[in-house]
Structure 1
């Protein structure tokens, strides 16, 4: 299942962590929600293969520790989403469709 492109309408903003908005529901360590706004990563389906970190030309992503999560113990966090140039490379290379980039969602950072 891919990230919900309408997460802002379908989920509740629970706060901020590691510099980005966190959209619930969350129940760590198993359920971590969606992180980010303009560049959003569904931490619950992210496999942490690193393709988005490798291919992003403006270094939007940083690894964050997520100990105990069933998919992986690190995740690609969109820490610098304000640097995004909307090239969509991260969306294209994500093997599980865990990333959504929406040029219209820039008002929260």
Structure 2
């Protein structure tokens, strides 16, 4: 089920933050949409995903949406890897190949990630793994990941930079005719 376009707008606040250690960039984790409108918990119905959760002895819980401009709904993601394979600039990696921790621990993790997770489709740890847009700031907005994701777990929207910056406390509203704060001499 596709991500609601308003997943990070209005009064919604991030529930976690994943930091790419090498670049210092980060992305937010937003609340789960499971149960809102037509949103289904696709991963909880996938036999391969359920079998691998059982193998780890982990409880399957709602995880939420990682990323803002490049968002992946971890409650819908079934670890197919099509997004990883399609991305021409390799913004995605399998999170469990960087840190082998449960999804909920990844959402709640406050430490920097090495950014060394595998970017190969077939190198996922197992089906509890999730594609994470750890380098979402490198996205070129080609939409390849969106077009190939079987459960439609990925949403790419450059306009979501504003909610990302608002959550970070770095948003600056530009008035007409004002100087660009990003311009350099």
Structure 1 length normalisation: TM-score?
0.83
Distance 1:68 1:13, change over 3 A: closer
> Which structure is higher in strand share?
1
Distance 1:46 1:25, change over 3 A: closer
Q: Distance in 1 between matches of 2:9 and 2:140?
A: 24
Which of the numbers 74, 85, 94 marks the counterpart of 1:63? 94
CA drift of 1:105 comes to 1.9
What is the Cα-based RMSD across aligned positions, in Å? 2.4
Q: Distance in 2 between matches of 1:68 and 1:101?
A: 21
Q: Distance in 1 between matches of 2:83 and 2:128?
A: 17
Deviates more, 1:58-67 or 1:38-47: 58-67
Q: Is the 8 A contact 2:2 2:152 kept in 1?
A: yes
> Which structure is higher in helix share?
2
Unaligned runs of 5+ in 2: 20-25, 34-58, 105-126, 166-185
Which of the numbers 25, 28, 39 marks the counterpart of 1:21? 28
Q: Distance in 2 between matches of 1:88 and 1:105?
A: 15
Provide the residue aligned with 2:135 in structure 1: 80
Q: Distance in 1 between matches of 2:159 and 2:103?
A: 34
SS of aligned partner of 1:21: strand
Structure 2 length normalisation: TM-score?
0.51
Q: Is the 8 A contact 1:91 1:99 kept in 2?
A: yes
Runs of 4+ in 1 over 6 A off after TM superposition: none
Q: Report Cα offsets for 1:23-66 as digits up to 9, x if no partner.
A: 1149x741110000110000000011111101100001010136
CA drift of 1:15 comes to 2.5
Q: Is the 8 A contact 1:23 1:34 kept in 2?
A: yes
Q: Distance in 2 between matches of 1:60 and 1:98?
A: 16
Deviates more, 1:6-15 or 1:52-61: 6-15
SS of aligned partner of 1:91: helix
Number of residues paired by the alignment? Answer: 106
Q: Distance in 1 between matches of 2:157 and 2:138?
A: 13
